Amino acid sequence: MPQAPAWALLSAPPRTQAPAPPPNLRSPRAPAPPLSRPRGSDGALGLETCTALVSEVISFPVVQLHLNRTAMRASQKDFENAMSQVKLLKKDPGNEVKLKLYALYKQATEGPCNMPKPGVFDLINKAKWDAWNALGSLPKETARQNYVDLVSSLSSSLESSSQVEPGTDRKSTGYETLMVTSEDGITKIMLNRPTKKNALNVEMYHEIMHALKAASKDDSAITVLTGNGDYYSSGNDLTNFTDIPPGGVEEKAKNGAILLREFVGCFIDFPKPLIAVVNGPAVGISVTLLGLFDAVYASDRATFHTPFSHLGQSPEGCSSYTFPKIMSPAKATEMLVFGKKLTAGEACAQGLVTEVFPDSTFQKEVWTRLKAFAKLPPNAMRISKEIIRNREKEKLHAVNAEECSVLQGRWLSDECMNAVVNFLSRKSKL
């Protein structure tokens, strides 16, 4: 089930209303929204108002901007122009910036935060409240000026950084969150959300499953999973927890457990040699899955971190079974229960990583080796993998089911909710 991209968190349409049309369906000449917003029936700024507000800030009509850069104080006209300029940004500025824009807008138009603090489960409004409240008694004029300055800096920085990294625009594969290539007998699945440290959002879970199913049937001899940018992956995208369906958090947790079980099942059942090329730090589920890979090559820059207890969560990816077997129960406990972060060398000594390479020669050395492996007879490799792995498969599926069921409960816990809220709101303190 496709989900709104993570960046849409703050502009997601309210669940109780028809979704706002995407920007390209809006009339470019639509009138600007008024600067003061209605309040909810409880007197607080409602979810609808908050989301609509940010959505509208992002969706203003196209108006030519001529900011008076020499003026010490932004005029009302500058402010309105800046709101229009936001619409012109070609690249989404990210939630942190959207929160800043939201907070400054509220401060400039309404003054200091005067709403009651939203509840802990109301993640989006809590993040907004935090951002606005953090402005304290900042005068309206200063907030207005800061808003204008922020938009101005965004306009230049996002324009200049809009160049896509080499190779990251390969949409020919049809994937939004991955780059998938197939050559020299190797299908390479590259996690491709480098600005989010390759965090796995819902779309990425689905795309990885799709890519694995395709790779299991294609002509390649081996399949490789790696990351684009400085991270291998920062694990589950914590904003996955924010898009609550009409059935509430229980339905969210249930859907998450179903998706996770299917996702991990694809790794358990993958028939060809599956190799992880761990190009940088790995967190959470990107670490636990490594126990289901046939070989793991790591840069010496990589680290391996499973902070499940810190997040109020519990192990997945069959790691509650594979890690104690790979590295001893005590070492597995240090990682999975106490969240000890391992260096690549330590992970290699524990048997989680097959070999570590200096970062400077990592790509060259690893790919030379993989190309040699890919020349081996594919059927022999597949059959050998089968005989190594098959007698464990049933057990692994049972472990997977149990882990998902336990996690479903953890996701509803205060411990987990608090940890997620802390992460999401950490940067909204301006």
Ligand X SMILES: CCCCC/C=C/CC(=O)SCCNC(=O)CCNC(=O)[C@H](O)C(C)(C)COP(=O)(O)OP(=O)(O)OC[C@H]1O[C@@H](n2cnc3c(N)ncnc32)[C@H](O)[C@@H]1OP(=O)(O)O
Binding marks (x or -) toward ligand X, 215..234, rule CB under 6 A? -------------------x
Q: Is 236 in the site for ligand X (CB under 6 A)?
A: yes
* Residue 96 touches ligand X, criterion: CB under 6 A: yes
Pick between residue 202 and residue 275 the one whose CB is nearest to ligand X.
202
259 binding ligand X? (CB under 6 A): yes
Least separation, in Å, of the C-beta of 234 and ligand X? 3
Q: Is 283 in the site for ligand X (CB under 6 A)?
A: yes
Please give the size of the binding site for ligand X, defined by CB under 6 A.
26
Site residues (CB under 6 A) for ligand X, limited to 387-426: 423
Whether 137 and 125 have beta carbons less than 8 Å apart is answered as no
CB of 305 to ligand X, least distance (A): 8
Which of 265/307 has CB closer to ligand X?
307
Site string for ligand X, 12-51 (x = CB under 6 A): ----------------------------------------
Residues 311 to 330: which contact ligand X by CB under 6 A?
Answer: 311, 313, 316
Task: Based on the shown chain and the rule CB under 6 A, indicate whether residue 111 belongs to the binding site for ligand X.
Answer: no
From 46, 118, 229, 235, residue interacting with ligand X (rule: CB under 6 A): 235
Footprint on residues 140-199 left by ligand X (CB under 6 A): 196-197, 199
Q: How far is the CB of 95 from ligand X (least distance, A)?
A: 5
d(CA 279, CA 228): 8
Candidate residues 51, 220, 240, 314; the one interacting with ligand X per rule CB under 6 A:
240
Shorter beta-carbon distance to ligand X: residue 115 or 257: 257
Quick one: tokens of 318? 């069959």
Binding span for ligand X by CB under 6 A among 68-76, 161-169, 184-192, 281-289: 281-289
**Residue span binding ligand X (CB under 6 A) among the ranges 91-99, 334-342, 365-373, 390-398:** 91-99
Q: What HEC string does the chain produce?
A: CCCCCHHHHHHCCCCCCCCCCCHHHCCCCCCCCCCCCCCCCCCCCCHHHHHHHHHHHHCCCCCCCCCCCCCCCCCHHHHHHHHHHHHHCCCCCCHHHHHHHHHHHHHHHHCCCCCCCCCCCCHHHHHHHHHHHCCCCCCHHHHHHHHHHHHHHHHHHHHHCCCCCCCCCCHHHCCCCEEEEEECCEEEEEECCHHHCCCECHHHHHHHHHHHHHHHHCCCCEEEEEECCCCCECCECHHHHCCCCCCHHHHHHHHHHHHHHHHHHHHHHCCCCEEEEECCCEECHHHHHHHHCCEEEEECCCEEECCCCCCCCCCCCCHHHHHHHHHCHHHHHHHHCCCCCEEHHHHHHCCCCCEEECHHHHHHHHHHHHHHHHCCCHHHHHHHHHHHHHHHHHHHHHHHHHHHHHHHHHHCCHHHHHHHHHHHHCCCCC
Smallest distance from the beta carbon of 218 to ligand X, in angstroms? 26
According to the binding rule CB under 6 A, does residue 427 interact with ligand X? yes
Cβ atoms within 10 Å, residue 182: 16
Q: Is 254 in the site for ligand X (CB under 6 A)?
A: no
Comparison of 273 and 280: residue with beta carbon closer to ligand X = 280
Q: End-to-end CA distance of the chain: give it in Å, rounded.
A: 34
**Per-residue CA distances from 268 to 1, 88, 212, 271 (Å):** 22, 45, 11, 9
Shortest distance, CB of residue 137 to ligand X, whole angstroms? Answer: 26
Name which position in 46, 265, 273, 284 contacts ligand X (CB under 6 A).
284
Smallest CA-to-CA distance from 376 within 185, 244, 234 is with 185
- Does 103 sit near ligand X (CB under 6 A)? no
Q: Which residue is nearest to ligand X (CB)?
A: 284
Taking the complex as a whole, the smallest distance from the CB of residue 7 to ligand X amounts, in Å, to 7
Using CB under 6 A as the binding rule, whether residue 260 contacts ligand X is answered as yes
The yes or no reply on residue 122 touching ligand X (CB under 6 A) is no
The contact set with ligand X (CB under 6 A) reads 94-96, 196-197, 199, 205, 234-240, 256, 259-260, 283-285, 307, 311, 313, 316, 423, 427
